[in-house]
Amino acid sequence: MTTLEIRDLRVSVATGETHKEILRGVDLTINSGETHAIMGPNGSGKSTLAYAVAGHPKYEVTGGQVLLDGEDVLAMGVDQRAQAGLFLAMQYPVEVPGVSVSNFLRTAKTAIDGEAPKLRHWVKDVKVAMENLRMDSSFADRNVNEGFSGGEKKRHEILQLELLQPKIAILDETDSGLDVDALRVVSEGVNRVKENTGLGVMLITHYTRILRYISPDYVHVFVGGRVAESGGRDLADRLEEEGYDRFLQAAV
């Protein structure tokens, strides 16, 4: 059982000379096997939360704590965070020129486990994971994110999730730009990993659509850089009907 604990997290970004506070005291606890949907309007700081937990250098933590089973995540380098079991699917994944999907995955797996996976098992695991995500086997030879469609990027993220087996995953707008079929395949992938490994998920989304496929245990409304309200599934249904207006007015 793993716990990711975010306590009173405050984060600023530098814009030119000035520092702008984006996260203004975020509290959130995610245990193994739980799915927490973070929902909020554009610009509320959802991606900033994901980047800060991932250790992106542009985001300066000015206060609070992030603990993974009591270990200080903020003191860890980016690689150490992955080794500790954190997984972050970026909203805008970067291209890695000249590195094939297959090499990228094997290198990442080796870095996380501290040893290279046994080749015979690994080749089979990759094959099965790709079939599960209805990916053509030729995909493994393509360069990471080079010319990937929106759907291919998302499938590649979930492929990583299946193969790297993290403890806690932060998925930032995994639903954006997906048609219904791709959304279903990607969601099934997340659900499969949850079932097989007890993954804990922070599912960041602007829309409720993905929550029809990945059922959240908790829903948090994120407004103005903090959690404005938490609840169960029904909170997402209410947001679907009412939108974020009520929360935005309360946050001013």
Q: Footprint of Mg ion on this chain (CB under 5 A)?
A: 42, 46-47
Q: How far is the CB of 89 from Mg ion (least distance, A)?
A: 12
* Two structure tokens written together for 165: 């087996």
Q: How far is the CB of 139 from ligand ADP (least distance, A)?
A: 28
CA atoms in the 13 A half-sphere facing the CB of 91: 16
- The listed partner (ligand ADP, Mg ion, none) that binds 58, CB under 5 to 8 Å by sort, is ligand ADP
DSSP state letters, 11-44: EEEEETTEEEEEEEEEEEEEETT-EEEEE--TTS
- The listed partner (Mg ion, ligand ADP, none) that binds 45, CB under 5 to 8 Å by sort, is ligand ADP
- The listed partner (ligand ADP, Mg ion, none) that binds 166, CB under 5 to 8 Å by sort, is none
In the bound state with ligand ADP, the residue whose beta carbon lies nearer, of 15 and 249, is 15
Tell me whether strands 96-100 and 143-144 are parallel, antiparallel or unpaired: antiparallel
Q: How far is the CB of 54 from ligand ADP (least distance, A)?
A: 12
Contacts to ligand ADP by CB under 6 A: 13, 15, 22, 40, 42-48, 58
In the bound state with Mg ion, the residue whose beta carbon lies nearer, of 140 and 236, is 236
Q: How far is the CB of 32 from ligand ADP (least distance, A)?
A: 25
Phi, psi of 224, deg, nearest 5? 60, 35
State the Cα–Cα distance between residues 140 and 74, nearest whole angstrom: 33
State the Cα–Cα distance between residues 132 and 126, nearest whole angstrom: 10
Q: How far is the CB of 41 from Mg ion (least distance, A)?
A: 9
State the Cα–Cα distance between residues 97 and 8, nearest whole angstrom: 38
Q: How far is the CB of 43 from ligand ADP (least distance, A)?
A: 4
* Two structure tokens written together for 128: 């099965």
In the bound state with ligand ADP, the residue whose beta carbon lies nearer, of 48 and 102, is 48
- The listed partner (ligand ADP, Mg ion, none) that binds 48, CB under 5 to 8 Å by sort, is ligand ADP
Q: What does the angle CA 189 – CA 191 – CA 194 come to, to the nearest 5 degrees? A: 110
- The listed partner (ligand ADP, Mg ion, none) that binds 40, CB under 5 to 8 Å by sort, is ligand ADP
State the Cα–Cα distance between residues 83 and 77, nearest whole angstrom: 10
In the bound state with Mg ion, the residue whose beta carbon lies nearer, of 22 and 126, is 22
Return the sign of the alpha-carbon dihedral for residues 151, 112, 213, 251. Answer: negative
